[in-house]
Amino acid sequence: MPKMVWTAEADAQLLLLVLDQLKVANFALDTEQLAVGMGSQCNKRGIQHRLSVLRKQDKEQPSPTKGGFTPINSPAKRKAGRPPRTPAKKQKNQDNDDETDDELLGVVVQGDHHDGN
């Protein structure tokens, strides 16, 4: 018998089969019948194991009704009367070289080019 691959669709099918059985007055799950409904790849023990896995996952999931829900708060607001903070200024990049930017560009300025007017 090939192994059952549990996917979201298989889980949904199993849940629908469980709900169909619960509609009947008998609340005890017939895992043998569930296995038949799931197809030839599934057996009674696989159904029992999967139901226990689903119950465990349900217990681990936080839920608003179980008290595990943490609301998302908005960012803290500044207190009244305090001015908004401004970011620190960026420092200018300082070259430690003796060469000036003009020398790096190949431009050499010599003497005073002022006409004297």
Structure tokens at 91: 């420092």
Among residues 42, 14, 40, which one has the least CA distance to residue 29? 14
65: tokens are 């009704």
pLDDT digits (tens, 9 = 90+) for 1-39: 788 898 988 887 888 777 767 767 667 778 899 899 989
pLDDT in the model for residue 26: 64
- pLDDT value at position 44? 92
Note the pLDDT of residue 65. 42
Q: What does the pLDDT read at residue 104?
A: 57
pTM for the whole structure:
0.39
Q: How many CA atoms lie within 13 A of 79 on its CB side?
A: 1
Instruction: Select the more confidently predicted residue: 31 or 103.
Output: 31
What was the pLDDT predicted at 41?
92
Spatial contact of 41 and 4, defined as CB atoms under 8 Å apart:
yes
**Domains of the chain by residue range:** 8-63
Give dist(CA 17, CA 56) in Å, integer: 20
Kindly report, residue by residue over 39-84, the tens digit of the pLDDT.
989 999 998 898 778 777 766 755 444 444 455 566 677 677 777 7
